[in-house]
Each structure stands twice: as C-alpha cells, then as structure tokens.
Amino acid sequence: MTKTLTGRVALVTGASSGIGEAAAIALAQAGADIAISARRADRLEVLKAKIEALGVKVLALPGDVVDEKIATEAVEKTVAHFGKLDILVNSAGIMHMGTTEGTDLAEFRRVMDVNLLGTVYTCKAAIAPMKAQGRGDIINISSQAGRKTGPMVGAYSASKHALNAMSDSMRQEVGGHGIRVCVLMPGATTTEVATSISDPNFRAAIQTHVTKDGAVAASEIADAIVFIVSQPQRVNIDLISIRPTIDTSP
C-alpha cells in the first residue's frame, strides 16, 4: 500500500476487533501513526505488536468509551503523545435485538451509550485540537440500520439513526474549520458484532447474517476509510453506504 498518510496521526476506537481493528491496520499500512482504544487490553497489545511491525508508532489506550472521562482522555492522551490528532475513527459499537415491549431497558441504554454517546464524547474532545491545526477527519461507523429499520432492531437502529443525525449536524458546524466528517454505513460485514447480543437465537441469526457467503470483509471497509481520508482537503465525503454485492434490496 502507498504511504499516503505518512505524518498523520489516527485514533481508532473499538480497535480490538472487526472494523476498528482492520481500520487501525489499514491506516498504519498507509503510513499513519496510530492510537488504539478498546475495552479488551489483551487484544490491544496483540494489535499493537502487529502495527509496530509495520514501522509506525502506536499507542494503546485500553478503556470503555461509555465512560465520558475515559473517552475524552483517549483523545487527550493521543494529542499529548503524538502532538496532534488528524484522524478519528469511531468504531466502538454493540448490537441489541428484541421487541420494544419485551426489551431489556438496561441493554437498550447500553446500546445508546456505546453507539451514540461514546462517539459524542470522542468527537467533542477532538474538535478543539483539530480546529487548532486547521484540519482533521472524523469518521463515524454507522450501519445500514441507520437508514432503515425492522422488527427486533429498534435499539440498534435508533442508535444509528441518531448517530447519522449527530454526525451531519457536526459536519455543518466544523466544516469551516477544515474538519471533515463522514458517516460510513456498512451492510453485512464479517465481525464479532453478534457476540454482544444476549438472546442466543438472535445472536445465532446475526452471526449467520454477517458470515454468509458474499459478506463484506472488515478489511474492505477499512480500505474505504483510507480512501475517505486520502481525498484532497477541499473534498468532504460525508456519507458512504457499503453493501455486499449480493444485497439487491432497495
């Protein structure tokens, strides 16, 4: 891969697996120095070693972005360590399935806390340093569930619709300061998203969905992230929808 991002610094949340892990590796392959954040410290250490082998600098920041202090400090520690922050990729996310009538409200709140508020915390912290340097890229990982919905996915879909709205509002607020904001909406992508679903039947159904023949690989979503941040400064790709080729639904 061409080192198009040499000299840039990226922070990736949800980096211990799936799209977050793949994004951190792809950005590093493109030459960026990387800060990685996730709850699972052991996995972060494994990823840190992989990224260091690519010849770039890496900072591991274990912690849960649901905690506003931890999320804010992830940004602050990245800036303190590297001297700046050019790219923020918010990939931390979980899924919950169930009817509105029968939903576990604690799980519903957790989905909103992780998928929406965890992203709000890091975005809020990143804007000031990005303004100071006159540029920056923020990519928020949403979902096809952020443009439509269906039975059993009310919490997840609501969190992603809200994320999309928040992100576009932020884009309009910060664009004049050279900060670009993009919402990336993947369809079926092979990740560990199903593991956060408590109901075993729903968990099995989603696992089958994201591992079916033709599902998008996390590395392919990561390639799109590198593409987004590699555009000329005047170009803000504000929304990308990625589906498996086999998905022909409206």
What CATH number corresponds to the domain at position 184?
3.40.50.720
Catalytic positions, written as ranges: 156
The terminus-to-terminus CA distance of the chain in angstroms comes to 34
Tokens 């590093």: give the residue: 28
Query: What is 204-240 written as a DSSP string?
Result: HHHHHHHTSTTPEEHHHHHHHHHHHHTS-TT----EE
How many domains are there within the chain? Answer: 1
The confidence score (pLDDT) of residue 193 equals 86
- Does the pLDDT of residue 112 top 90, yes or no? yes
In a domain, 205, yes or no: yes
Q: Residue 174 is part of which domain span? A: 9-242
Mean per-residue pLDDT of the chain:
95
Residue 248 in domain: no
Residue pLDDT, tens place only, 181-200: 999 999 999 998 888 888 88
Encode pLDDT of 35-76 as tens digits: 999 999 999 999 999 999 999 999 999 999 999 999 999 999
Provide the whole-model pTM. 0.95
Predicted confidence at residue 138, as pLDDT, reads: 98
Is 178 contained in some domain?
yes
Residue 77 in any domain: the answer is: yes
Q: Is residue 228 part of a domain?
A: yes
| pLDDT band per the 50, 70, 90 thresholds, residue 158 | very high
Cα–Cα distance for residue pair 183/186, rounded to 1 Å: 10
* Residue 120 placed within a domain: yes
* Structural domain contains residue 57: yes
Q: Is residue 20 part of a domain?
A: yes
